[in-house]
C-alpha cells in the first residue's frame, strides 16, 4: 500500500474528470472519462484494493464506456452542435461551480478524529466471503436492480414505428 501513489493517481483522476465534464466533443469527453477511470483504478491498486481495481477496469472502463461509445456512434458530430454545447457551458458555469465548491468545502477542513488504521490490505477472498455470506441479501437486491434495468431499457428502447410492431 502506498498512500502517496494513491493520492497522486487520484489527483490525475481529478484533472481528467474536470476535462471530461467540460469538453464540447462527446468523443473527447469519453476519452477523458476513460483516463480518469484508469487513474482511479491505479489509485485503488495503491490502496491495496486489487479486486475493486480490476472490477473498475472491467465494468466501468470496459462495459459502461463501450455502452457510451455505441450511443456516440449514433450522434451527429456537427460543428454547430459542438458550438451550441460550448456556448451553453460558457453561459452557465458560475453557479454550478459555486455549488461544487460548497460541496467540497467541508472536506478541506479535514475529517476530524478518525480511528487508527489497520495494517493488512483486503484480499478478494475476504470480499467474496462478505458478499456471499452476510451481504447475500444486498447481492440479491442488486440483481433485482439489474433485472429491472434490463426490462426498463427493453421497454423504453422498443421501436414503435416498426412495421408490424405492437404499441
Partner 1 sequence: MTSTALSGMMIVAAGLFAIGLFGVLARRGILFQLVALEVALSGPALGFVAAGAYHADPQGQGMFILVLTLAAAEVAVGLALFLRIRRVAGSDDSDAINRLKG
Cβ-based nearer residue to partner 1, 157 or 165: 157
Cβ-based nearer residue to partner 1, 109 or 164: 109
- Find the length of the chain: 167
CB of residue 166 to partner 1, shortest distance in Å: 17
Cβ-based nearer residue to partner 1, 106 or 164: 106
Question: What one-character DSSP code corresponds to residue 74?
Answer: T
CB of residue 40 to partner 1, shortest distance in Å: 6
CB of residue 167 to partner 1, shortest distance in Å: 14
Q: What is the CA radius of gyration of the chain?
A: 21
CB of residue 9 to partner 1, shortest distance in Å: 9
Count of H-run helices and E-run strands, the chain:
8, 0
Judge contact between 35 and 43, C-beta under 8 A: no
Nearest-CA neighbor of 82 among 27, 34, 129? Answer: 27
d(Cα 56, Cα 39) in Å, to the nearest integer?
10
Cβ-based nearer residue to partner 1, 115 or 164: 115
Amino acid at each position: 500500500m502506498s498512500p502517496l501513489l494513491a493520492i497522486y493517481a487520484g489527483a490525475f483522476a481529478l484533472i481528467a474528470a474536470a476535462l471530461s465534464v467540460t469538453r464540447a466533443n462527446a468523443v473527447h469527453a469519453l476519452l477523458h472519462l476513460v483516463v480518469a477511470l484508469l487513474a482511479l483504478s491505479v489509485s485503488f491498486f495503491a490502496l491495496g484494493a486489487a479486486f475493486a481495481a480490476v472490477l473498475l477496469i472491467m465494468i466501468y472502463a470496459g462495459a459502461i464506456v463501450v455502452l457510451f461509445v455505441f450511443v456516440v456512434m449514433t450522434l451527429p458530430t456537427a460543428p454547430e452542435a459542438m458550438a451550441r454545447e460550448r456556448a451553453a457551458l460558457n453561459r452557465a458555469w458560475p453557479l454550478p461551480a459555486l455549488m461544487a465548491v460548497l460541496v467540497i468545502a467541508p472536506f478541506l477542513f479535514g475529517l476530524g478524529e478518525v480511528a487508527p488504521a489497520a495494517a493488512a490490505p483486503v484480499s478478494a477472498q475476504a470480499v467474496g466471503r462478505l458478499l456471499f455470506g452476510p451481504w447475500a441479501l444486498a447481492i440479491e437486491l442488486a440483481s433485482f436492480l439489474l433485472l429491472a434495468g434490463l426490462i426498463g431499457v427493453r421497454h423504453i428502447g422498443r421501436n414503435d414505428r416498426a412495421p408490424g410492431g405492437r404499441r
